[in-house]
Structure 1
Amino acid sequence: MPWIRRDITLRPRPRGFHLITGEIVEAVPELRAVRVGLAHLFIRHTSASLTLNENASPDVRRDFETWFNAAVPEQFGGWTHTLEGPDDMPAHIKASLLGPSLTLPVADGRLDLGTWQGVYLCEHRDAGGPRSLTVTINGDTGTGG
């Protein structure tokens, strides 16, 4: 199977942790042909990030946001990078803590996640705007590729 690369633009979302697994799967129909492989997800931003976690309870996403806001407060008082607003430097730090990418297994035409796992867009700005992801997939389709 040749390498597949897709760019996805996610609609703007408010600050918080948002499940995007379904959007990714929908945007990459070639995924359904992969018997076994890997999908690499990369967000091309420095104030948003990706993570994998609980996909059922919205409380988990709210608790993530609460913890990150307490751990990296806007009112820290020591930020020097402030030209883009009080949420910008904290957003950069939060994005660095979580990271810009995930590598996920693919099996039988789907992301091979655990029962309660989902991919989160972690939006760390109040108004971050649309977010761009690159999805790269390689694997065996069982057709000699």
Structure 2
Amino acid sequence: MSDAFTTRVLHVSSGSRERVVDLTGDCEAFLREAADGRDGLLNVFVPHATAGVAIMETGAGSDDDLLTALHTLLPADDRWQHRHGSPGHGRDHVLPALVPPHATLPVVEGRLELGTWQSVCLVDTNRDNAERRVRLSFLGH
């Protein structure tokens, strides 16, 4: 594989409750190895139909605020046509339309170019799937 493109899969246990999981440290660790001080792009992709990737502040209540907002927009009730799994699971399949399953971020001199309070997060509202994969891919020169 060319050193211009490197990819790795993270295995994330999101548990049996709705969660926002901060992946920033995992992304930084991957870039220390893959980017090796170079400029490029980091793509973060969740290959699941019921999870997404958000760039947001964490730790100050914003992660809980996001989950609350998603409950308002996508209530976990019986209104959904998609009905397998736990009650209201159909909303989990709508989530990626609002919180996309990917993000592409600039990397400068091997480091993520995030704003002061920004973190890379997995957003998982699906209580039926506690194990997630997240693909990190670096394309650089």
> Could you tell me the TM-score, scaled by structure 1's length?
0.85
CA displacement at 1:80 relative to structure 2:
2.3
CA deviation string 1:11-48 (max 9, x = no partner) = 23331222111123234542450421101111010111
Larger radius of gyration: 1
Moved more, 60-69 or 12-21: 12-21
Give the structure 1 partner of residue 20 of structure 2: 17
Give the structure 2 partner of residue 66 of structure 1: 68
Structure 2 residue 48 is matched with structure 1 residue 45: yes
Matches within 5 A, 1:99-138: 99-138=100-139
State whether residues 4 and 139 of structure 2, in contact with CA within 8 Å, keep that contact through their aligned partners in structure 1: yes
Structure 2: gaps of 5 or more residues:
none
Q: State the distance in 1 between where 2:131 and 2:29 align.
A: 17
**How many residues were matched structurally?**
138
Structure showing the higher helix proportion among its residues? 1
Q: State the distance in 2 between where 1:31 and 1:112 align.
A: 16
Classify the secondary structure of the residue corresponding to 1:115.
Answer: coil
Structure 1: gaps of 5 or more residues:
141-145
Structure showing the higher strand proportion among its residues? 1
Q: State the distance in 1 between where 2:71 and 2:85 align.
A: 18
State whether residues 8 and 27 of structure 1, in contact with CA within 8 Å, keep that contact through their aligned partners in structure 2: no
Q: State the distance in 1 between where 2:109 and 2:58 align.
A: 21
Structure 2 residue 71 is matched with structure 1 residue 54: no
What root-mean-square deviation, in Å, do the aligned CA atoms of Structure 1 and Structure 2 show? 1.7
Q: State the distance in 1 between where 2:89 and 2:103 align.
A: 23
Q: State the distance in 2 between where 1:93 and 1:15 align.
A: 15
Classify the secondary structure of the residue corresponding to 2:84.
Answer: coil
CA displacement at 1:61 relative to structure 2:
0.7
Q: State the distance in 2 between where 1:56 and 1:84 align.
A: 30
State whether residues 31 and 110 of structure 2, in contact with CA within 8 Å, keep that contact through their aligned partners in structure 1: no
> Could you tell me the TM-score, scaled by structure 2's length?
0.87
State whether residues 5 and 137 of structure 2, in contact with CA within 8 Å, keep that contact through their aligned partners in structure 1: yes
State whether residues 84 and 90 of structure 2, in contact with CA within 8 Å, keep that contact through their aligned partners in structure 1: no
Classify the secondary structure of the residue corresponding to 1:125.
Answer: coil
